[in-house]
Chain A
Amino acid sequence: MQETNEKTAAMIEHLAAVNKILEKYNCDESKLIPILQEVQEEYKYLSKDVISYVATSLDIPPAKVYGVATFYAHFALEPKGKYVFKLCDGTACHVKKSHSILHALYDRLGLSDDKQTTDDLMFTVETVSCLGACGLAPVMLVNEDVYGQVKPEEAVAIIDDILAKAAAAE
């Protein structure tokens, strides 16, 4: 037998935060995208439960909300890591060999195109089409920090740095 009382309490807390976002937008169906954006900011991704909850609260079909969530690449349906690496693969970065950076990150973290988040939910590696900083190609974002003219070994060093800091903090 498994018992998980703390999950119930956590869910109540989570949904209270969603309720606040919904109230902020007055439960207005036409504000679906900003609502989903804020919910995602809170939880890093949109779970099935949260999508259903937003849908029923706005009185629109869950299929429609799921449709919106799967239409925009911005929305994540799986949990993302604490550190999200967004590697630019636009034309300029691509010719500047962004792929070698991508593979260096994949190798370091044991990730691939099909598995972009580590099991411990520390890192997510994904490519984006253009970050709009082609002069700095190849460009990479780690959460909000911008790195320009990145070399593969520098990218790996960022990971090692994060892990070292995390280990020191413990």
Chain B
Amino acid sequence: MSINKEIIVNGITVAFDNERNLLEVIRKAGIEIPTFCYHSELSIYGACRLCVVEVEGRGVMATCSTKPEPGMVIHTDTKQIRSIRKINIELLLANHDRECPSCVRSANCTLQDLARRLGVEEVRYKQLEEREEIDHSSPSLTRDPNKCVLCGDCVRVCDEVQGIGAIDFIGRGANAKVAPAFDQDLSSVECVNCGQCAAVCPTGAIIPKQDRNDVWDLLHDDSKIVVAQVAPAVRVGLGEHFGFEPGENTAGQLVNALKMMGFDYVFDTSFAADMTIFEEATEFLDRLGGSAPLPMFTSCCPAWVKFAEIYFPELLPNLSSCKSPQQMFGSVAKKVLPAKLNADKKDIVVVSIMPCTAKKYEATLDKFKHEDIPEVDKVLTTVEVGRMINSAGIKFDELDPEAFDMPLGFSTGAGVIFGATGGVMEAALRFAYEKVEGKTIKQLEFKEVRGLDAVKEATVNVGGTDLKVAVVYGLKKAKELAEKIRAGEADYHFVEVMACPGGCIAGAGQPITHDIEVRKERAKGLYTADKRMQLHKSQDNYMVQECYNECMGGEAGSHEAHHTLHTNYQNRCQIFDARVPVLKGDADKLLPIIVTICTKQENDPGQKLLALIVDYVKNNNLADKVEIEAAFTSRPSADGTIAVTVGSQTVERSKFKNAINTEEELANNAEFAKIKEAIDKELA
């Protein structure tokens, strides 16, 4: 006899199947159960105690951590349940910073929303007087522990989805809080700035850093020419902020609104995305020819790049050396616009509008500054721009669409689909296919790399060669894939990585959503835009080609293009190493030199290298200008990851050995020469 898989919720019979818990079943029945700590994509935590219901014969139970069983009789709205939920909210409010009107998450805050819904009209408990310091250290995110409800959503998304665990609970009981290791600032730990913590935070405890006021100042400064670049995913996300349907393309309205706000020119990051394909696909074909190691990883996502710099330094040579589209745009804009606009380079300001918080961090990196002028001056998220439009009194939904300015606003569909997972891969394949085959591609769509699966694989035949490609989002999945590659268990040629779920369309700068359907609609919006555009292949973007002709050596991969559009990466594996001071000078400004020593190797050659460096600085009267530290690691693959950091440069020393013959001695000398050169250069 089969048992009916049914439960009774508030007198209504509800069937269930493979739902994860009672909560999902009740929500399926159309009854909204309040939660803080429950996310369908994260593990079940059971901390907030808001999802409680009464189960007849069992009493009050948390639905998130209860399995549905046939015959359960459930009441979701009894007097007792109401009272429990209300008191929970009241207690959370008691130690919450209740400066709601000035909070970025006001009107979009679960705590505020639940307090209103559950009818909490007064808080009977006294507010805590002790206040925690706000962490402003990160260029991407602001942490305000006074607004934290300890639901742990941020802790779990960072660990379970991104595979990082940069923040965790520290302390216990009334002293418990969420913080980075050793209660340090977010900027000094392994955070990659993806902002998914902010995207799942139900309150304003972690928010994207707000740069709106700086941008208003620039817009109000008459001596500046303010140039905007709009990333692909922004156009299918911004509309939601103004009540449009998810996925609706509002690029035209955005151009109009930005002009009204005082932006002088509005360009399209998709132009730079097309340029990225010129460079990246050319680099890929060169690598296929043996110029550099395979597989090649994409480098568009700054969260992924920092992740690789920390956890996979030995794979850094596999990262495409191409700058991300944001930085390509910035460097091209500052190269071509001064002449075109007849203006001084320092008066041209590039403001990026991005779906992303990591882009804020990327723009601040020293390697993207030249003579103190950054390639990109300010980065705003989609939501920040939405709020700026609100504050300017612009009725966004009534605006007529306008076109991007030329030439840096011209793009193809390939540059637009960059915003969705698989988009970069597809754009690159459209380019590589035609380059190799030498004929027009008939089937434009590479369906295997589309869709919202976290890992997608495909084999594409290009010019007789089977290219194995992989597309992955979520850094934990990327880690698993990279570990396979490191272990030699996967033989891909090309791997695309994006940190956020579904790609940039669900970046932490976009209007907050946890609805997979919304993500699908946003991705669809980009693919529809591609279909409606006249050109679909980056190589057909004649304005990009013109740009190459004018100032970048005429073609992708040229010397000049390399200088402007490519970058290098920094080995960041030393951030967790145990440190010991070795030598410290007395000068005001000291050059930090950090040498890794592996504790798993007896007589690790790092010790010898350290002694050589100490002798070198002493013998050359540099000892007062440097601060030398030894960094200790037990990383098993230490040989590839051991490094010497000199200022902002990291010099690999994997070839440095305890020399036993002349040949090795010579190799050591060459390795040491590199370090000496770096020290001299940094101190010059």
Task: From known contacts A1-B623, A16-B599, A19-B634, infer whether A67 and B580 are also in contact, taking CB-CB under 8 Å.
Answer: no
Interface: A121 (CB within 8 A): no
- Which DSSP category, helix, strand, loop or mixed, fits chain A's interface? helix
Q: A15 vs B638: C-alpha distance in the bound complex, in angstroms?
A: 15
Per-residue A-contact encoding for B212-253, CB less than 8 Å = 1, 0 else: 000000000000000000000000000000000000000000
Q: Which of A1-42 contact B (CB under 8 A)?
A: 1-5, 7-8, 11-12, 15-16, 19, 22
Interface: A49 (CB within 8 A): yes
Interface: A147 (CB within 8 A): no
Q: A33 vs B634: C-alpha distance in the bound complex, in angstroms?
A: 19
Question: Do A56 and B182 touch across chains, with their CB atoms under 8 A apart?
Answer: no
Q: How many residues of A contact B (CB 8 A)?
A: 32
Q: Which B-chain residue is minimally distant from A19 (CB atoms)?
A: B599
Question: Do B168 and A66 touch across chains, with their CB atoms under 8 A apart?
Answer: yes
Question: Do B159 and A61 touch across chains, with their CB atoms under 8 A apart?
Answer: yes
Question: Do B181 and A66 touch across chains, with their CB atoms under 8 A apart?
Answer: yes
Question: Do B166 and A2 touch across chains, with their CB atoms under 8 A apart?
Answer: no
Instruction: Give chain B nearest CB distance to A94 CB in angstroms.
Output: 20
Q: Which A-chain residue is minimally distant from B578 (CB atoms)?
A: A49
Q: Which A-chain residue is minimally distant from B172 (CB atoms)?
A: A71
Say which residue of B169, B181, B630 sits within 8 Å of A62 (CB atoms): B181
Interface: A130 (CB within 8 A): no
Contacts of B610 in A (CB 8 A): 8
Question: Do A61 and B577 touch across chains, with their CB atoms under 8 A apart?
Answer: no
Per-residue A-contact encoding for B560-584, CB less than 8 Å = 1, 0 else: 0000000000000000111111111
Q: Which B-chain residue is minimally distant from A58 (CB atoms)?
A: B634
Interface: A55 (CB within 8 A): yes
Q: A71 vs B633: C-alpha distance in the bound complex, in angstroms?
A: 26
Q: A117 vs B48: C-alpha distance in the bound complex, in angstroms?
A: 38
Q: Interface size bucket, B side?
A: 35 or more
Interface: A115 (CB within 8 A): no
Question: Do A8 and B578 touch across chains, with their CB atoms under 8 A apart?
Answer: no
Interface: A82 (CB within 8 A): no
Question: Do B181 and A5 touch across chains, with their CB atoms under 8 A apart?
Answer: no
Question: Do A7 and B581 touch across chains, with their CB atoms under 8 A apart?
Answer: yes
Q: A66 vs B171: C-alpha distance in the bound complex, in angstroms?
A: 9
Question: Do A62 and B182 touch across chains, with their CB atoms under 8 A apart?
Answer: yes
Q: Which of A60-83 contact B (CB under 8 A)?
A: 60-67, 70-71
Contacts of B633 in A (CB 8 A): 53, 56
Q: A53 vs B180: C-alpha distance in the bound complex, in angstroms?
A: 16
Question: Do B181 and A8 touch across chains, with their CB atoms under 8 A apart?
Answer: no
Question: Do B582 and A3 touch across chains, with their CB atoms under 8 A apart?
Answer: yes
Question: Do A61 and B170 touch across chains, with their CB atoms under 8 A apart?
Answer: no
Instruction: Give chain B nearest CB distance to A74 CB in angstroms.
Output: 12
Question: Do A67 and B168 touch across chains, with their CB atoms under 8 A apart?
Answer: yes
Interface: B586 (CB within 8 A): yes
Question: Do B170 and A66 touch across chains, with their CB atoms under 8 A apart?
Answer: yes
- Which DSSP category, helix, strand, loop or mixed, fits chain B's interface? mixed
Task: From known contacts A1-B586, A1-B624, A12-B597, infer whether A63 and B171 are also in contact, taking CB-CB under 8 Å.
Answer: no
Q: A1 vs B587: C-alpha distance in the bound complex, in angstroms?
A: 9
Say which residue of A11, A12, A55, A67 sits within 8 Å of B576 (CB atoms): A55
Task: From known contacts A11-B630, A63-B165, A63-B166, infer whether A5 and B585 are also in contact, taking CB-CB under 8 Å.
Answer: no
Task: From known contacts A16-B599, A53-B632, A66-B181, infer whether A11 and B580 are also in contact, taking CB-CB under 8 Å.
Answer: yes
Task: From known contacts A61-B164, A61-B166, A62-B181, infer whether A8 and B599 are also in contact, taking CB-CB under 8 Å.
Answer: no
Question: Do B171 and A11 touch across chains, with their CB atoms under 8 A apart?
Answer: no
Q: A58 vs B189: C-alpha distance in the bound complex, in angstroms?
A: 18
Say which residue of A3, A12, A52, A66 sits within 8 Å of B577 (CB atoms): A52
Interface: A100 (CB within 8 A): no
Interface: B600 (CB within 8 A): yes
Q: A62 vs B623: C-alpha distance in the bound complex, in angstroms?
A: 33
Q: A4 vs B630: C-alpha distance in the bound complex, in angstroms?
A: 11
Q: A3 vs B172: C-alpha distance in the bound complex, in angstroms?
A: 40
Per-residue A-contact encoding for B239-280, CB less than 8 Å = 1, 0 else: 000000000000000000000000000000000000000000
Interface: B167 (CB within 8 A): yes
Instruction: Give chain A nearest CB distance to B321 CB in angstroms.
Output: 28
Q: A142 vs B380: C-alpha distance in the bound complex, in angstroms?
A: 59
Instruction: Give chain A nearest CB distance to B1 CB in angstroms.
Output: 42
Question: Do B599 and A4 touch across chains, with their CB atoms under 8 A apart?
Answer: no
Interface: B314 (CB within 8 A): no
Q: A52 vs B188: C-alpha distance in the bound complex, in angstroms?
A: 14
Q: A143 vs B508: C-alpha distance in the bound complex, in angstroms?
A: 52
Instruction: Give chain B nearest CB distance to A85 CB in angstroms.
Output: 23
Q: Which A-chain residue is minimally distant from B170 (CB atoms)?
A: A70
Contacts of B600 in A (CB 8 A): 19
Say which residue of A7, A63, A71 sits within 8 Å of B181 (CB atoms): A63
Q: A57 vs B635: C-alpha distance in the bound complex, in angstroms?
A: 6
Say which residue of B166, B170, B171, B634 sits within 8 Å of A15 (CB atoms): B634
Q: A66 vs B182: C-alpha distance in the bound complex, in angstroms?
A: 6
Task: From known contacts A1-B586, A56-B634, infer whether A61 and B580 are also in contact, taking CB-CB under 8 Å.
Answer: no
Instruction: Give chain B nearest CB distance to A53 CB in angstroms.
Output: 5
Question: Do A67 and B169 touch across chains, with their CB atoms under 8 A apart?
Answer: yes
Question: Do B172 and A7 touch across chains, with their CB atoms under 8 A apart?
Answer: no
Instruction: Give chain A nearest CB distance to B535 CB in angstroms.
Output: 45
Instruction: Give chain B nearest CB distance to A148 CB in angstroms.
Output: 30
Interface: B190 (CB within 8 A): yes
Per-residue A-contact encoding for B29-50, CB less than 8 Å = 1, 0 else: 0000000000000000000000
Task: From known contacts A1-B624, A62-B181, infer whether A56 and B165 are also in contact, taking CB-CB under 8 Å.
Answer: no
Q: A8 vs B607: C-alpha distance in the bound complex, in angstroms?
A: 9
Contacts of A15 in B (CB 8 A): 578, 599, 632, 634
Instruction: Give chain A nearest CB distance to B623 CB in angstroms.
Output: 5
Contacts of A2 in B (CB 8 A): 581, 583-584
Question: Do A11 and B189 touch across chains, with their CB atoms under 8 A apart?
Answer: no
Q: Which A-chain residue is minimally distant from B629 (CB atoms)?
A: A8
User: Which 4 residue pairs across A and B have the least CB separation, nearest first?
Assistant: A61-B165, A49-B578, A63-B168, A62-B181
B: residues with CB less than 8 A from A are 159, 164-172, 179-183, 189-190, 576-586, 597, 599-600, 607, 610, 614, 623-624, 630, 632-635
Q: Apart from A12-B599, A64-B165, what 11 extra A-B contacts exist at CB < 8 Å?
A: A15-B599, A15-B632, A22-B634, A62-B181, A62-B182, A63-B167, A65-B181, A66-B170, A66-B182, A66-B183, A71-B172
17 contacts between A and B (CB under 8 A): A1-B583, A1-B584, A1-B586, A2-B581, A2-B583, A3-B583, A12-B632, A52-B578, A61-B159, A61-B164, A61-B168, A62-B181, A63-B165, A63-B166, A63-B180, A71-B171, A71-B172
